[in-house]
Structure 1
């Protein structure tokens, strides 16, 4: 029931995510390469919307630093606002920090995935703004059930997952990434500890990618020395 998820990212050669830190590629400026290729590649994939984490969405809307939360989770119904045939913009925001003042981001209908500890007042603000919301369990980490509900409610079959690394890592650990679309720029970051494509803060010895194999589907050179890799994810039956 859930939509197919393609993780679509643009990175330096060492897998880092912040172009402002990358080395100079020569004749082409990094921001020009990113602007030229990232959205164009996304358009060629042909998904019906995109998913980001709370930190990435905070580049588009305001957020609360420390929102009030319920002491105990409370089960309440999902809220489906009017989509109007638009693509979806989905934000993973368990604590309900994001404050939307409209029902869209750059024309795409806004949907928020929340925990069951978000207050009724926060939900009311989302409804007033025309934003749809879905619950992902007591702590907002039951992504599979939330995506099942998303697919059933809106009838979407394919979404792009566009990070950051922590959100991508949560999807990977849950076995929810079906493909990777990776644009690799001819540049380096090089500093340890900088954000990368996939990051999962599991316990020592954990293997969030276990049982998941990448199968190369395409490798395409683009202008400016960028290489576009597409991989399908093959999962063992034990990965849900």
Structure 2
């Protein structure tokens, strides 16, 4: 079973995704009241999991440290499903095992760590001791297709929200596993080159991570205070 993956993001009109940098709304409206529309829409999807990268996780939820060193032959590199698996999952893409968890959930959503095969056994033991599920994405943690297949087949996820940052979104785009894009446009501007955007896949300039993927517009909705909500279906094309 392949989960249906929706990349759900909010950005300024120039595609940047750091809300604190966006220009303020007109008429003295609070910026947060506009940004919070993102979370209102998120709830309507009724997804059974959400995916973010290590940088976003460490910014908002979990402390980070240097990867542990040690043996890698104690535990098989197979998915581990904790007993307290919840209906909704918080899925953190953390190839090197840098995130240091103090609990097994984020606001009730059980954590699943997606790791590279070469993380230390000691780190896996700590995850098990803390009741945290995990799975693997290949030798370097970049096999997104493998991870998505496990999330569907082992963790039985049917619909997942991919919510950035740009590096992880870009990796999923390059892997061709995104089914739909839900993009909310905040009526403001960042304006600076190099600030994180919705898709920031790091590659050579002649690489085209979205090649073979066309966007078919599903809907446009004008929301409160000038926020736009765009929905696109990703359709495979012949490169």
TM range (shorter): over 0.9
Moved more, 143-152 or 69-78: 69-78
Per-residue CA shift, 1:119-173, capped at 9, x if unaligned? 0110011111111000111100011111111111121110000000000000000
The alignment yields a C-alpha RMSD, in angstroms, of: 1.7
**Aligned partners of 1:75, 1:136: CA distance in 2, in Å?**
14
Are 1:143 and 1:171, in contact at CA under 8 Å, matched by a contact in 2? yes
Are 1:215 and 1:234, in contact at CA under 8 Å, matched by a contact in 2? yes
Q: Trace 1:105-184 onto structure 2 (pairs within 5 A).
A: 105-184=106-185
Question: Could you tell me which residue of structure 2 aligns to residue 88 of structure 1?
Answer: 89
- TM-score, structure 1 normalization: 0.93
Question: Could you tell me which residue of structure 2 aligns to residue 103 of structure 1?
Answer: 104
Unaligned runs of 5+ in 1: none
Are 2:86 and 2:109, in contact at CA under 8 Å, matched by a contact in 1? no
SS at match of 2:7: strand
Are 1:211 and 1:235, in contact at CA under 8 Å, matched by a contact in 2? yes
Q: Residue 237 of structure 1: CA displacement?
A: 6.0
**Aligned partners of 1:56, 1:169: CA distance in 2, in Å?**
14
Question: Could you tell me which residue of structure 2 aligns to residue 9 of structure 1?
Answer: 9
SS at match of 1:124: helix
Are 2:84 and 2:131, in contact at CA under 8 Å, matched by a contact in 1? no
Unaligned runs of 5+ in 2: none
Question: Could you tell me which residue of structure 2 aligns to residue 217 of structure 1?
Answer: 218
**Aligned partners of 1:109, 1:157: CA distance in 2, in Å?**
16
Are 2:51 and 2:160, in contact at CA under 8 Å, matched by a contact in 1? yes
Are 1:180 and 1:230, in contact at CA under 8 Å, matched by a contact in 2? yes
**Aligned partners of 1:75, 1:97: CA distance in 2, in Å?**
20
Per-residue CA shift, 1:175-206, capped at 9, x if unaligned? 01110001101100000110000011112301
